[in-house]
């Protein structure tokens, strides 16, 4: 086994050849480049898919000519057309803001990808507060849209921008509360830890954790669709009333930045939904604790293979959700702006608050009524019991996982390989388990 294949992360790989500083810098650059690659390629495919889906739903064929039978290269042809168009700036526009705002949208949309968990240990930046960061970043994207609407010097664009502002400021609230529902159930904000909790059979996914999480998934998905301004919530660019809304005055490559960001954001919110509710990179077949665990222990190329499968599963789940967003767009009519606001403030917001309250009470109620911490305590599927309480699952957030000493010894030590930033110094665990500490601490407080 060559050491190149033994590394479980890019950082670990580079650390074999470079000094820590250089490895860290290069790993950061490579992570950003990989994510940027996905960020660039995914919209290419999604825009093609959107045309195909729209076509099929409207009983048409969609693109059929460019690049073979299914029009695979249609988006590329569009891109080439857009690049060679003139970069127009209207006479009435605020030139500086007009030129800057597409980049603002683009950058905000890209930054959201930094904390998406692709597979166990594969994440561009593993933050403890990944979800919080994600919500913060996604609220920035609307900034560019509002500035674009304002700076265009056009009534249509201004209306579009203002609508977008009103819509996003309202929809941010139920979105954050809905995202908190599975977080409350799982007890961690880290998207990587959330993925690890949901390993095993699909009943371990957070969506099946309790009825509140189940409903919260659908509410989140509706709100997320609105927050990336997709139909039926695309009031910012309502073609029937506002020409093209906030991007009426844009053309060429700047216009295409808005679209790249929109399609990339569709995947970003779908990725968050996947990581929060749908098991992240886990197959849901119980493979993680049987077959894949063996692969991970074997280390080297097997570890890579297990993670590649995980990334594949994650992207597939995300793409399915993106497909549902397209399906909804070409099926449902657009709402009016007052209906959009009513939906959010009168229905989605109270629903999400009730769900949040419910999920906080759920474990107490179940314990009080049944004496167990879950409803399905002893159900066995395929040899592994499902519906286990959080504390008995193979991964518990806050408890540091044992780390293998180095990439080369990975074969010998049958423990879960660490994500990036692996403690290469050795097996010493630096932080004692926080959740186990707390009851002891509470005892001390009550006794004193």
Partner 1 sequence: MNWLAQQLDNLAWMAHGGAVYVFAAMAIVCALAVVFTHNVVRMAFWLILCLAATAGLFFSLNADFVGAAQLLIYVGGTLVLLIFGVMLTASGPFLQMRTKPGEMVLGGVVGLALLGLLLSSALAVRWGERSPVLASEVVGAGFNPVAEGNTTRELGLKFLGASSRDLKTGRGELSAGYLLPFEIVSVHLLVVLIGAAYLARTKRRKQPADSSGDSRSAALSA
Give contact residues for partner 1 (rule: CB under 8 A): 11, 17-26, 92, 94, 96-97, 100, 126-129, 132-133, 135-137, 139-140, 142-143, 146-147, 150-151, 153, 162, 165, 169, 172, 189, 398, 400, 418-426, 429-432, 434, 437-438, 440-441, 444-445
Least CB distance to partner 1 at residue 435 (A): 11
Give the pair of three-digit tokens for residue 145: 């849209």
Considering the complex, state which of residue 320 and residue 437 has its C-beta at the smaller distance from partner 1: 437
Least CB distance to partner 1 at residue 40 (A): 23
Considering the complex, state which of residue 52 and residue 196 has its C-beta at the smaller distance from partner 1: 196
What span, in angstroms and rounded, lies between the C-alpha atoms of 178 and 298? 38
What span, in angstroms and rounded, lies between the C-alpha atoms of 372 and 437? 22
Least CB distance to partner 1 at residue 418 (A): 7
Considering the complex, state which of residue 369 and residue 445 has its C-beta at the smaller distance from partner 1: 445
Q: Are 137 and 24 in contact (CB under 8 A)?
A: no
Considering the complex, state which of residue 37 and residue 432 has its C-beta at the smaller distance from partner 1: 432
What span, in angstroms and rounded, lies between the C-alpha atoms of 188 and 194? 7
Least CB distance to partner 1 at residue 369 (A): 28
Considering the complex, state which of residue 161 and residue 387 has its C-beta at the smaller distance from partner 1: 161
SS (H, E, C) the chain: CCHHHHCCCHHHHHHCCCCHHHHHHHHHHHHHHHHHHHHHHHHHHHHHHHHHHHHHHCCCCCCCCCCCCCCCCHHHHHHHHHHCCCCCCCCCCCHHHHHHHHHHHHHHHHHHHHHCEEECCEECCCCCCHHHHHHHHHCCHHHHHHHHHHHCCCHHHHHHHHHHHHHHHHHHHHHHHHHHHHHHHHCCCCHHHHHHHCCCEHHHCHHHCCHHHHHHHHHHHHHHHHHCCCCCCCHHHCHHHHCCHHHCCCCHHHHHHHHHHHHHHHHHHHHHHHHHCCCCCCCCECCCCCHHHHHHHHCHHHHHHHHHHHHHHHHHHHHHHHHHHHHHHCCCCCCCHHHHHHHHHHHHHHHHHHHHHHHHHHHHHHHHHHCCCCCCCCEEECCEEECCCHHHCCCCCCCCCCCCCCCHHHHCCCCCCCCCCCCCCCCCCCCCCHHHHHHHHHHHHHHC
Least CB distance to partner 1 at residue 356 (A): 14
Considering the complex, state which of residue 59 and residue 428 has its C-beta at the smaller distance from partner 1: 428
Considering the complex, state which of residue 74 and residue 190 has its C-beta at the smaller distance from partner 1: 190
Considering the complex, state which of residue 389 and residue 432 has its C-beta at the smaller distance from partner 1: 432
Q: Which distant-in-sequence residues (6+ apart) come within 8 Å of 243 by Cβ? A: 156
What span, in angstroms and rounded, lies between the C-alpha atoms of 201 and 271? 20
Give the pair of three-digit tokens for residue 380: 């066995």
Considering the complex, state which of residue 25 and residue 375 has its C-beta at the smaller distance from partner 1: 25
Q: Which distant-in-sequence residues (6+ apart) come within 8 Å of 336 by Cβ? A: none
């Amino acid at each position: 086994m060559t050491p190149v294949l033994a590394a479980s992360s890019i950082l670990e790989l580079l650390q074999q050849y470079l000094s820590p500083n250089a490895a860290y810098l290069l790993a950061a650059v490579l992570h950003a480049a990989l994510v940027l690659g996905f960020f660039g390629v995914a919209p290419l495919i999604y825009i093609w898919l959107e045309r195909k889906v729209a076509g099929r739903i409207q009983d048409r064929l969609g693109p059929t000519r460019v690049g073979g039978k299914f029009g695979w290269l249609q988006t590329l042809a569009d891109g080439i057309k857009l690049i060679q168009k003139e970069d127009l700036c209207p006479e009435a526009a605020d030139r500086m803001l007009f030129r800057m705002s597409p980049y603002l949208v683009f950058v905000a949309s890209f930054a959201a990808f930094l904390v998406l968990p692709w597979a166990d240990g594969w994440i561009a930046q593993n933050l403890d507060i990944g979800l919080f960061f994600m919500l913060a970043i996604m609220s920035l994207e609307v900034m560019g849209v509002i500035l674009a609407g304002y700076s265009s010097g056009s009534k249509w664009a201004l209306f579009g921008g203002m609508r977008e502002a009103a819509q996003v400021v309202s929809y941010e609230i139920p979105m954050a509360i809905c995202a908190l529902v599975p977080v409350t159930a799982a007890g961690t904000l880290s998207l990587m830890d959330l993925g690890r909790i949901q390993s095993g059979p699909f009943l371990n996914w957070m969506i099946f954790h309790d009825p509140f999480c189940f409903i919260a998934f659908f509410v989140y998905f509706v709100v997320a669709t609105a927050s990336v301004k997709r139909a039926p919530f695309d009031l910012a660019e309502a073609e029937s009333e506002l020409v093209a809304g906030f991007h009426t005055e844009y053309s060429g490559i700047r216009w295409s930045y808005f679209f790249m960001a929109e399609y990339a954001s569709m995947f970003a919110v779908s990725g968050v939904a996947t990581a929060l509710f749908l098991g992240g990179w886990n197959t849901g077949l119980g493979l993680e604790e049987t077959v894949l665990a063996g692969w991970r222990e074997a280390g080297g190329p097997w570890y890579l293979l297990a993670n590649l499968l995980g990334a594949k599963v994650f992207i597939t789940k995300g793409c399915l959700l993106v497909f549902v967003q397209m399906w909804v767009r070409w099926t449902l009519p657009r709402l009016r702006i007052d209906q959009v606001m009513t939906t959010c403030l009168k229905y989605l917001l109270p629903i999400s608050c009730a769900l949040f309250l419910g999920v906080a009470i759920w474990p107490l109620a179940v314990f009080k009524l049944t004496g167990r911490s879950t409803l399905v305590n002893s159900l066995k599927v395929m040899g592994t019991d499902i519906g286990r309480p959080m504390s008995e699952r193979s991964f518990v957030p806050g408890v540091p996982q044992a780390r293998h000493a180095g990439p080369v010894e990975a074969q010998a030590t049958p423990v879960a390989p660490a994500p990036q930033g692996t403690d290469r110094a050795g097996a010493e665990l630096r932080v004692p388990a926080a959740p186990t500490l707390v009851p002891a601490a509470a005892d001390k407080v009550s006794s004193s």
